[in-house]
Chain A
Amino acid sequence: MSKYQVDNRGYYGPFGGAYIPEMLFPNVEQLEQQYLEIMNDPSFRAEFDQLLKDYVGRPSPLYHAKRLSERYGATIFLKREDLNHTGAHKINNTIGQILLAERLGKKRIIAETGAGQHGVATATVCALKGLECVVYMGEVDIERQAPNVARMKMMGATVVPATSGSKTLKDATNEALRDWINNPLDTHYIIGSVVGPHPYPDMVARFQSIISAETKIQLLEKTGKETPDIAMACVGGGSNAAGMFYNFVDDDVRLIAVEAAGHGVDSGETAATTVLGKEGVLHGSRSILMQTEDGQVVEPYSISAGLDYPGIGPQHAWLFKSGRGEYVSATDDEAMQAGLRLTQLEGIIPAIESSHALAHLEKMTFKGDEVVVVCLSGRGDKDLDNYMKYFNL
């Protein structure tokens, strides 16, 4: 077993665990005892693989971005999660979890969402399976992300505003956890990132590991070698990065995770967790967390709603602390410029989240023969408003 994967107590080094109130214990214990068995069951695998292929459209292409490569002097591939159904990597996880929920006999699905991508991906699989769906979303985010709210509603989901705290992703997660406490028997909570109590971080990472599993096969085909020199992804909670890194953690591959620096790591308006965070517990796991001296969680900021989270998943905390991963950050401005650059060099409009990963390329130096894979986690359609405002389009 890799020392970078979860151990049998639910920890990654000192991070992880299940810091949950007793009210959630039976649900989390049931998941913990059954998730591996269910995920390894041949009938589950067959249905999961078939849906990823025919419904999501996998495998997603590994695209050799030639003009981008030319600019940086390296061989750069983009893993095109933006081409998935619903426009991002989020659906890999929701497909997995809805099949799991069915096998656990759950009738009702809840989820949290920030920008709405995970909410849409959850509403989508609930429509697909005919299950009741309730999505918690911060009141502020509901106003900012009207098209995604409409998409969820069209698919039959109930969108409940989270009105506590800052009324954004963190508070939506609190409300979803409260719902789960009050509905312990019939409800499954589909967490959208590699956060939450064990086994969620491991389970979500396994569902997202398809990203690096496919990358290995595609790289072998294209370069004759199944590992790149560098694998890169953006990190909010960290699910696309966890998927991109999953099959490379024990290989000789540099892992680079790019956090959102917002207006700058020292500006007070940032989501650069590994720079500013300290060890702590939020949403059921021990990780690195932006917080005050008194242990109150600090509100993060990023132009990208998907990276606007005050923590990172426990596996990322461990990859960071152990030095296995390189954790860096990109500001709003750097990300926006990188988004425009990709659009003009390759004709691909990336999600602003993914633009953060692309932004870091500007700060790197290459010898010329490196193979780099960047996870293009989502498409930019949802961000057009932001791009229009930023560039006065």
Chain B
Amino acid sequence: MQLNKHANGLLSIYFTAGYPTLDSTVSIAKALEEAGADFLEIGFPYSDPVADGPTIQHSSEEALKNGMTLSVLFEQLQDLRKHVSIPVFLMGYVNPVIRFGVENFCKACKEVGVNGTIIPDLPMYEYEELYQHIFEENGISNIFLVTPQTSEERIRKIDKLSSSFIYLLSSNATTGKNLEVKDQAEAYFKRIKDMDLDNPFIIGFGISNQETFRKATTYANGAIVGTAFVKLLDEADYLAKIPQFIQNLR
């Protein structure tokens, strides 16, 4: 599912399936669409999330305790498309996907109407060698990450392999570190923008408020908020607070 290359100011929200309660997944997705989010990333939990900081680690641990698994998630998402029309991506680590079976996983994504996947520890080489054909046969876009250290040659390759958007990390870091909008970061965003890639790019990691959202979307087609939103889910009556949260970011 290709995002529009000329879109701007897109806001995507990440949250962990099964957190804060096992059944909260679809109601949160629905509330986010109603509040004006442009697309969603639903995390499926893993016991060893090495790319995540403490907040998302905690949400994954709790979700697992609540009983979340990939099978439960796909069951919960059976009626996803009755309630949610914006693009939805699943994000998580590769081991649960391998255990579930990559083909079963892609088929299940297609069946419930998930548009794509973000699997940080499935690198490009392994994806191309082992799994690309399965994703493509099922029309599932796999999203790749780019960091400030990724070479231009590699970014070009990622651009060719991508069919939805490129996930640009604001810095080399785990999730939940605040983006420091320094000249260095801006130079990096600008460098990517000037590469005139075929795919739109969305900035994630460290986007937590209006200032960082605006700075990121000056260069990118959109930005992703994860940790800051997962923190909101700890509050009482969080569903009612979602519209204000989204409004404050814009």
A residues with a Cβ closer than 8 A to B are 9, 17-23, 25-26, 164-165, 170, 174, 177-178, 181-182, 184, 278-284, 289, 291, 293-297
Contact = CB atoms under 8 A, between A and B. Distances in A.
Given A22-B145, A174-B50, A182 B174 contact: yes
B172 interface: yes
11 contacts: A19-B121, A19-B126, A22-B150, A23-B149, A26-B150, A170-B48, A174-B49, A182-B177, A282-B95, A294-B99, A295-B96
Identify which of B51, B70, B100 gathers the most chain A CB atoms within 10 Å of its CB. Answer: B51
A184 B149 CA distance: 9
A21 B64 contact: no
Nearest to A279: B98
A296 B97 CA distance: 10
Nearest to A26: B149
Nearest to B53: A178
A225 B21 CA distance: 65
Given A22-B146, A280-B99, A293-B99, A178 B50 contact: yes
Nearest to B67: A294
Contacts of A21: 50-51, 120-121, 123, 145
Contacts, number: 112
B28 interface: no
Given A174-B50, A184-B149, A22 B120 contact: yes
Interface of B: 46-51, 53-54, 57, 61, 64, 69-71, 93-100, 120-123, 125-126, 144-147, 149-151, 154, 169, 172-174, 177
Identify which of A17, A164, A280 gathers the most chain B CB atoms within 10 Å of its CB. Answer: A164
Given A20-B121, A22-B169, A291 B174 contact: no
A165 B173 contact: no
B95 A289 contact: yes
A281 B120 CA distance: 13
B92 to A, nearest CB: 10
A23 B51 contact: yes
A284 B145 CA distance: 16
Nearest to B158: A22
B55 to A, nearest CB: 12
Contacts of B98: 279-281, 295
A23 B70 contact: no
A283 B100 CA distance: 19
Contacts of A295: 46, 70, 95-100
A26 B149 CA distance: 7
Nearest to B46: A296
B123 A294 contact: no
A129 B62 CA distance: 43
Contacts of B94: 19, 281
> 6 closest A-B pairs (Cβ-Cβ)?
A295-B99, A295-B96, A22-B145, A294-B69, A21-B120, A296-B47
